[in-house]
Structure 1
Amino acid sequence: MPPSPESRRIAIVVKGYPRLSETFIAQEILALEGRGLDLEIWSLRHPTERAVHPMNRKIRARVTYLPEYLYEEPLRVLKGAFWSIRQRGFRPLLKAFRRDLKRDFTMNRVRRLGQAFVMARELPANVGHLHVHYLHTPASVVRYAALLTGRTWTFSAHAKDIWTTPDWEKREKMQEAVWGVTCTAHGAGNLQALSAPGRVSLVYHGLDLSRFPAPPESRPARDGADPQDPVRIVSVGRAVAKKGYGDLIQALAALPGDLHWRFAHVGGGDLLNSLKAQAQQAGIADKVAFLGAKAQPDIVALLREADLFVLPSKKAASGDRDGLPNVIMEAASQKLAIVATDFAGIPEFIRDGAEGALVAPGDWEALSNALNLLAREPAKRRMLGEAAYQRLRRDFSTEGGIDVLEARLRTLVGNPSKQPEPV
């Protein structure tokens, strides 16, 4: 139904909820709830993971799941379609959908229309605004639902949605959205070049340090010389092409024989089996542990026990790439030395030689060299870990970004408490 004059609630739309890899979204929702905003969550997919982060359990917002595949809930989809046909916004929606379908003739496009029918019909009247995470498929659903109901909408763009969505689609969506934010200067530059001045702003996710324990006061001075106490290397991330884990396996296999080490990976992903096979073929399977997806307390415990964190992100063949991965900031929260790639949003936080070591994306030999050098130098690891922690506290707190989002969202639902801060 259309929004009422008293609409104060905001619908936060996501691709899937909850997701272990999207702590930044849960962190934002929880913080906005803490500021007193009235939220509800709409998800295009049901969760696929059993583990749940503790902060997701603290979120009070009601969650509504749209039909992931239209044939699974035909009655719900038909009710939404018949309702939508009678709405004033149906004609503008149909015009936009036909234009989109002509350029993207896929079942995925039809699915988003069906989900929009359902969402538009089922949105409570007290929802006055829609805010969507990701500018690709979730934003298509929100855009269509907004056209049907006359609601305003805004977006948060992140990584894959920026780099794999065609320019024409990003341009048209941004033209209709009231405003948008994104989490890296790298991504902001791309979107700002396609949109009206001031439409897209850079707002870092940052990290809510209140959710993390204080970093360890000290770490063992492991240098890889003792086979009974090897250097502990850890990474957290989905096993997908853009994370560069194939390069990491090559880099680990090339480490000198006199360096004793162990590596642990946390995360699910389609490439897990191929990475395990690669480690086996490289002769390092006995030194590598693939732990699967874990909830955040388990991840933090692993970070606290490690000596080095590594994330070799790169551009995937599909064009997909990272933004500024939250796991890098989480490693910094525990004063853990970081080795990563000079790519995407990573150098906006980690500067080579200052807060960590950066190598060129895809260069497994340079990655191996950086790991070898830092594994042997516990004093340098301490220095880099301390510097990353201080930069995190000083420049990447979550509070600044939440201030901006709160002010802007309050303005859109007619309940301003402060003016939006300049970005």
Structure 2
Amino acid sequence: MQAKRKIVVLLKGYPRLSETFIAQELLGLEKAGFELELVAMRRPTDKKRHPVHDEIRAPVHYLPEYLHEEPLRVLRALWKVHTRPGFGAALKQFWRDLKRDVTRNRFRRFGQAAVLVAEWPADAGWLHVHFIHTPASVASYASQIGGVPWTVSAHAKDIWTSKDWDLAEKLARADWAVTCTGVGYEKLKNLAGDRNNVNLSYHGLDLDRFPHFDGARPARDGSDPADPVRILSVGRAVKKKGYDTVLRALAKLPASLNWHFTHIGGGDELSKLKALAEELGLSGRITWKGAMDQRDVLTLYRESDLFTLGCRITADGDRDGLPNVLVEAASQRLMAVATHVSGISELFLNGENALLVGPDDADALSRSLETAATDPALRERLGTAAETRVRQDFDYHNSIHDLDRLFHEAWARRDA
């Protein structure tokens, strides 16, 4: 008998403005003929949505974010699934995990897994999960309880802030895993060992939403106070983005250079960054836009002269993979000054299609920003090279083809 083909996709939260790459993938899978049902561990907190979210047809369900908020639902689920053949094995795995990670989160993940299995769609036969940390814990327990195969897309923070034992055991239980940067791939491949079930697939970009920009950018060089160089950054205000370093780099630019910095995004660090900007005397030269949808962001890519991001590795190991905003900016011929952290150097080569510096180096970042701000010809040359790279190698259809192949190969093995 052929296996059921509907895929339940487990997400940490949905929809999220900062995770357009996931929404883009979901829509791509639907267009490729996959039937999806979405389950999220958290309800949305963003006030806006991207257009891509409204194009996804799959229904969305929400697990209890905190077990005490829906105790009857959790208890009914546990009662319903406790007689399943895999419940005992899942419970043993939970206790082993709890001994190594004594947190309330472990109880929450097991309870969410029970609800997921108890409310599982009758016509679904596969579980795919985004992020290999807490969402994959839910998926792993649910797979053991319900006897359903599961796979995982790993990204950035989820890889680098997880314990090796946790990653290795999940990779041992998952059918396959896919990740979006070479550095992440190497780490997971080593942890997977002989299973050899880790795959590299860059997210890419839906280039139909980011068509080639034919417009000519003004040759701003920072000499005209009435027409300053426009510097843009898009990203959540969180520590790993390095926005404090960006602000310090801007403060070090020569007084004679006229510039204006625009930031798009929310985030917990936003109030601290605004205070730092005030302290550095930059407030009058910065616009804080907050969260914006994809169409408005595209407009600002085209109106700006230069893009910057100061990504770093934080004390707990958290870091970006390859920030999608860098791919988006490059698709619009917008040159970037960034750091060479993680997967960024898999897109950019210093001096060839961007300027890259080390993380947490405000002096070096400032020098590169000055070089780019005062040289419009350099910006055009590197921006054009960056766009060529994106349109050749970062089309999201490539990642959809990879997933299509992985799912169908897995189904063929199950059918056999």
Q: TM-score, normalised by structure 1?
A: 0.96
How do 1:127-206 residues align onto structure 2 when only pairs under 5 Å count? 127-197=124-194, 198-206=196-204
1:93 aligns with 2:90: yes
Q: What is the CA–CA distance in structure 2 between the aligned matches of 1:267 and 1:192, rounded to whole Å?
A: 33
- Runs of 4+ aligned structure 1 residues displaced above 4 Å come to 413-416
Q: What is the CA–CA distance in structure 1 between the aligned matches of 2:30 and 2:209, rounded to whole Å?
A: 15
Structure 1 range deviating more: 113-122 or 399-408: 399-408
Q: Which residue of 1 aligns with 2:344?
A: 346
Q: Does the CA contact (< 8 Å) of 2:203 and 2:399 recur in 1?
A: yes
Q: Which residue of 2 aligns with 1:402?
A: 400
1:240 aligns with 2:238: yes
Residue of structure 2 aligned with 1:214, choices 194, 212, 215: 212
Instruction: Give how far 1:214 is off.
Output: 2.3
% identical equivalent positions: 52
Q: What is the CA–CA distance in structure 2 between the aligned matches of 1:364 and 1:281, rounded to whole Å?
A: 16
Instruction: Give how far 1:402 is off.
Output: 1.0
How do 1:365-384 residues align onto structure 2 when only pairs under 5 Å count? 365-384=363-382
Q: Does the CA contact (< 8 Å) of 2:237 and 2:266 recur in 1?
A: yes
1:34 aligns with 2:31: yes
SS in structure 2 opposite 1:147?
A: helix
SS in structure 2 opposite 1:294?
A: coil
* CA separation of 1:123 and 1:391: change in aligned 2, threshold 3 A: same
Q: Which residue of 1 aligns with 2:114?
A: 117
Q: Deviations over 1:105-129 (max 9, x none)?
A: 1001110011001001001121111
Structure 1 range deviating more: 325-334 or 402-411: 402-411
Q: Which residue of 2 aligns with 1:250?
A: 248
Q: Which residue of 2 aligns with 1:286?
A: 284
Instruction: Give how far 1:178 is off.
Output: 0.7
Instruction: Give how far 1:317 is off.
Output: 1.5
Q: What is the CA–CA distance in structure 1 between the aligned matches of 2:304 and 2:285, rounded to whole Å?
A: 14
SS in structure 1 opposite 2:80?
A: helix
Q: TM-score, normalised by structure 2?
A: 0.97
Q: Which amino acid aligns with 1:243?
A: K
Instruction: Give how far 1:47 is off.
Output: 0.4
Instruction: Give how far 1:410 is off.
Output: 2.8
Instruction: Give how far 1:215 is off.
Output: 1.2
Q: What is the CA–CA distance in structure 2 between the aligned matches of 1:373 and 1:281, rounded to whole Å?
A: 25
Instruction: Give how far 1:355 is off.
Output: 0.8
SS in structure 2 opposite 1:219?
A: coil
Q: Does the CA contact (< 8 Å) of 1:157 and 1:182 recur in 2?
A: yes
Instruction: Give how far 1:158 is off.
Output: 0.3
Q: Which amino acid aligns with 1:400?
A: N
Gaps of 5+ in 1: 417-423
Q: Deviations over 1:18-40 (max 9, x none)?
A: 11110110111100100010111
Instruction: Give how far 1:5 is off.
Output: 6.1
Q: What is the CA–CA distance in structure 1 between the aligned matches of 2:43 and 2:149, rounded to whole Å?
A: 25
Q: Does the CA contact (< 8 Å) of 1:216 and 1:304 recur in 2?
A: no
Q: Which amino acid aligns with 1:77?
A: V
Residue of structure 1 aligned with 2:44, choices 29, 39, 47: 47
1:103 aligns with 2:84: no
Gaps of 5+ in 2: none
Q: Does the CA contact (< 8 Å) of 2:175 and 2:410 recur in 1?
A: no
Instruction: Give how far 1:314 is off.
Output: 0.5
Q: What is the CA–CA distance in structure 2 between the aligned matches of 1:188 and 1:362, rounded to whole Å?
A: 25
Q: Does the CA contact (< 8 Å) of 1:8 and 1:415 recur in 2?
A: no
Instruction: Give how far 1:411 is off.
Output: 3.5
Q: Which amino acid aligns with 1:338?
A: A
Residue of structure 1 aligned with 2:358, choices 347, 360, 363: 360
Q: What is the CA–CA distance in structure 2 between the aligned matches of 1:111 and 1:232, rounded to whole Å?
A: 46
Q: Does the CA contact (< 8 Å) of 1:7 and 1:413 recur in 2?
A: no
Q: What is the CA–CA distance in structure 2 between the aligned matches of 1:69 and 1:63, rounded to whole Å?
A: 18
Q: RMSD between aligned alpha carbons? A: 1.3
1:72 aligns with 2:69: yes
